[in-house]
Structure 1
């Protein structure tokens, strides 16, 4: 999926939500307030924050304000291929201020938006702009963490996640199990598993949802609730991206014997399910 860039003011009413894509939010004028899983505060002009996907955040605008917002899916060109190392910036919420060079780059971005770069030939321009900005932020925000050869014990983390699939889970909760700071835990976790903590949790949720789809007759809306998705639509969207088909299509596939299959429906279903493991 491609990234998008937009400008808008924030209402003075405090709102909250979470979404399955990452965000860069920069205050262009006025000020705003952002709190991302307990971290944050007032964000003045030419400052901003990185909002990791699936992180509940509260936000509001202060008086007249204008925000520049980048919406970046984890499979967008800005975070994949030659830019794949940039996704580590979203391992935890971050706040930043723009220096002189980045303010000049921001002026360029605003000019591009004013002239419109969303023509068919330039549909990936928002990702190019986002990748350049993220690369500059990476150089400024990078803080080397102390190296450690000790591996994280994933067993208690897996048990904690499995027991709370239906509940909101925070990276801070998992970091506490490992007795590490959130940033240190996220870096160690990615090095060990190749995934950020929220990607790992999402895989656990989807795996559990797939088992329920295949082995129960629960309504898809109930499965979504039991595995921590906001609703059936959110489950179906994530499920299709990971497995290439919707939960309903998988259930139909497993319940319909293939032509020439053995009479035993149970054997057929188990054989088909094994192919998804």
Structure 2
């Protein structure tokens, strides 16, 4: 959900990256454990880059398990009572207005799949990681707000065959074998689906291909190792399934707009 006043953690972590432009505040929250309980003083738009699991109670007294699908768009209205906790968390984009003007919408939601929102969130993440201040932030934020507005939001995409249980199983399988070659045949076999059906079901549920998701998991693990260890970049590349440090660097630049060395230097400066 669009939440997260995160509790301090006993480890070095990437900082929250934040920019304020015009009437907008845009934040990139790092993937780490968090616990939050608050009443939202203003509406917030959220976007989960990673699959996430934990417990929450959003606008309700009932605490229940949640599973956030990757690329899920979320919205929390003003005055919504929020409780959320995750032992792992995941990278998350949050967008708010700072001029007092309310965002449209009075109902909380998450796990909404919108191709336009995915593209916008990826643009914002790249720009925040790269430290760019000259991008078209106001246009991006306004466009993302339009994706959450009632009446303009496209019908939510159903998860179909990619249930929460299957996504959890797939995440565990990928994370356990990231240092090995992984492919669609093995993933489909794990879930008991044909390759063609698995590829269609996965794209339907997450808005991306299984191969693209596998790359994102490799990047997430590499970023965690860069952040939390002194392991060499070459060792990290091999541990995360990249063929070489150069291959990892190319992928980082293409997906995130920064190199692993730049990201490590940013962490040291915190």
User: Is TM > 0.5 for Structure 1 vs Structure 2?
Assistant: no
Which has the larger Rg?
A: 1
TM range (shorter): 0.3 to 0.5
Q: Which has the higher helix share?
A: 1
State TM-score, norm by structure 1.
0.39
State TM-score, norm by structure 2.
0.40
Q: Which has the higher contact order (CA 8 A, sep 6+)?
A: 2
